Amino acid sequence: MRIEVSPPPRINLRVPQSSQADINAVTRLCAVLGRPIAHSASPAMQNAAFKALGLNWRYLAFEVDPKNLRAAIEGALAMNFAGLNLTVPHKLLAVEMMDELDDSAKMFGAVNTIKFEVVRSKVRAIGYNTDADAIAISLREELKLKLRGARVLLLGAGGAGRTAALKLAFENVAELFLANRTASKAEALAREIRKRFPAVQVVAGYPKAKVDLVLNATSLGLKRGDPPPLDEKRFPLRQTRAVYDMIYCPAETRLLGAAKKAGCKTANGLGMLLHQGAKAFRIWTGKPAPLDVMRLALKSTVYSPRSPVIAGSRKVNYESNSKI
Ligand code: ATR
C-alpha cells in the first residue's frame, strides 16, 4: 500500500525572548469560563500582561456549560486558582454562587470577575463587575466625553444595554434615552433607573433634540448584512457629537462608518474589553495593569487575519454583556 506522506509543517524555531518563568509547580492560574469561548481574546491579553510583569501566572479559557458553572467555579477554587473571568452566559448565574459580592457586582447584578481569597484560612469566592467601569473609562478615554450632565441615546436593553444604562445613570448623565427593538424591555429598564437614580431623566424612545453620545449596545453590526441599530429617520447622526459602538469586530461597523461621515467622534468597544481585563488583572495580582501591552496583544489577536474573534465575531462580552 502506498501511503501519501505530506511534507512536515514548517516550524518557526525562533522563539521570542521572554521574561516569563516556565510553567512549574507554583504557577498561578486564572481562566475565563464561557460558552462559546473560542473567540475570546482574553487569554492573549492577560498572558501578555503576566509576561510583561515577569509573573509566573497563566490565563486559560474553558468552555463551560451553564449547568456545570458551579462545579467549575468550585473546582477552580479547590485547585487554588487565583481568579476567573466569566462571560456569556454565566455572568448573571454566578451572582448566586459567590461567597461574597463586591459593591460593583451588587450594583450591576452581574459577576464577570472572581477573586479567590484566603480569609481566616478558608478560600472564598468574591464576585466583582469590571464591565461597567470599563464602559465609563473607555468613553472618557476615547471620546473625551464628560458623562456628568451628558445627554445619551442608548441603543439596546439586553445584558450589555442594562449594564451601560445603570453605569451612565450612576455617573450622573442628565438625560438617558433608551431605544430597543422590544420596547417593553426599554420601558422596564427606564422604570428601574427612575427608581434607583431619580435625578436622571429617563425616556424610553428616541430623543427629539441633540445628544452628546449615541451608544450601541445591541448585537446589530456583528454580522455583515445586519441592519444598522439606529433608525436614522427617527434620529439623524448629525444630531449627536459622538458615537460609541460596543462591537469591536469588525473594527468599523456600518454605524461607525456612517457616524464618521456625519462628522461624529467615534470609537469601538475594544477599549471596554481592554479596561474590564485591566481591572480584573489588578484585582487578582494587586498590580497596575500594563495597559499598552494588553492593548497591543488585543489588537493583534482580534484584528489578525486568522483571528478566531473574526470567525466567531462578538461584541464585548460583556463580554455582557456578551461583548467580552
Ligand atoms: P448582550 O448580552 O450582548 O446585551 P442580549 O442580552 O441578548 O445580548 O441583548 C441583545 C440586544 O440586541 C437587545 O437589545 C436586542 O433587542 P431585543 O431586546 O429586542 O431582543 C438587540 N437585538 C438583537 N438582535 C436584534 C435585531 N435583529 N434587531 C434589533 N435589535 C436586536
- Angle value at C-alpha 117, between 114 and 123, nearest 5 degrees: 105
Residue 81 has pLDDT above 70, yes or no: yes
Reading the block at residue 228, the C-alpha cell is: 444598522
Instruction: Give the pLDDT of residue 20.
Output: 73
Instruction: Give the pLDDT of residue 72.
Output: 98
Contact 148, 134 (CB under 8 A): no
Residue 323 CA to ligand 1 center (angstroms) comes to 12
User: Which ligand 1 atom sits closest to the C-alpha of 157?
Assistant: 14
Q: What percent of the chain has pLDDT over 90?
A: 85
Q: Please give the residue that has the higher pLDDT: either 263 or 224.
A: 263
SS3 content of the chain, % helix, strand, coil (to 5): 35, 20, 45
Q: Give the number of other Cβ atoms within 10 Å of residue 52's Cβ.
A: 17
Residue 234 CA to ligand 1 center (angstroms) comes to 19
CA distance 94 to 16: 38
Mean pLDDT score of the chain: 91
Residue 175 CA to ligand 1 center (angstroms) comes to 22
Considering the four listed CATH numbers 3.40.50.11540, 2.160.10.10, 3.40.50.720, 1.10.1060.10, the one that applies to the domain covering 132-271 is 3.40.50.720
Residue 1 has pLDDT above 70, yes or no: no
Instruction: Give the pLDDT of residue 287.
Output: 98
pLDDT confidence band for 323 (50 / 70 / 90): low
Residue 218 CA to ligand 1 center (angstroms) comes to 5
Instruction: Give the pLDDT of residue 307.
Output: 72
Residue nearest to atom 28 of ligand 1 (CA): 181
State which H helix or E strand residue 260 sits in: helix 254-261
Residue nearest to atom 12 of ligand 1 (CA): 218
Instruction: Give the pLDDT of residue 6.
Output: 45
pLDDT tens-digit readout, 184-221: 999 999 999 999 999 999 999 999 999 999 999 999 99
pLDDT confidence band for 21 (50 / 70 / 90): confident
Question: Which of 182, 219, 224, 245 should be mutated for ligand 1, with most atoms under 8 A from CB?
Answer: 219
Instruction: Give the pLDDT of residue 312.
Output: 37
- Across 301-315, average pLDDT: 66
- Across 88-98, average pLDDT: 97
Residue 322 has pLDDT above 50, yes or no: no
Whole-structure pTM value = 0.90
- 3-class secondary structure, 203: strand
Residue nearest to atom 30 of ligand 1 (CA): 181
Residue 308 has pLDDT above 90, yes or no: no
Instruction: Give the pLDDT of residue 60.
Output: 98
Question: Which of 155, 166, 218, 276 should be mutated for ligand 1, with most atoms under 8 A from CB?
Answer: 218
* Alpha-carbon dihedral sign for residues 14, 40, 277, 125: negative
Residue 7 has pLDDT above 90, yes or no: no
Residue 309 has pLDDT above 70, yes or no: no
pLDDT confidence band for 111 (50 / 70 / 90): very high
Residue 182 CA to ligand 1 center (angstroms) comes to 8
User: Which ligand 1 atom sits closest to the C-alpha of 161?
Assistant: 4
CA distance 256 to 123: 45
CA distance 284 to 262: 42
pLDDT tens-digit readout, 222-260: 998 999 999 999 999 999 999 999 999 999 999 999 999
Residue nearest to atom 13 of ligand 1 (CA): 158
State which H helix or E strand residue 214 sits in: strand 211-216
Mention every residue, 6+ apart, whose C-beta is less than 8 A from residue 302. 41, 248, 249, 270, 309, 310
Contact 140, 168 (CB under 8 A): no
Residue 2 has pLDDT above 60, yes or no: no
* Binding-site residues, ligand 1, Cβ < 6 A: 156-161, 180-182, 185, 217-220, 315, 320-323
Residue nearest to atom 16 of ligand 1 (CA): 181
Residue 321 has pLDDT above 60, yes or no: no
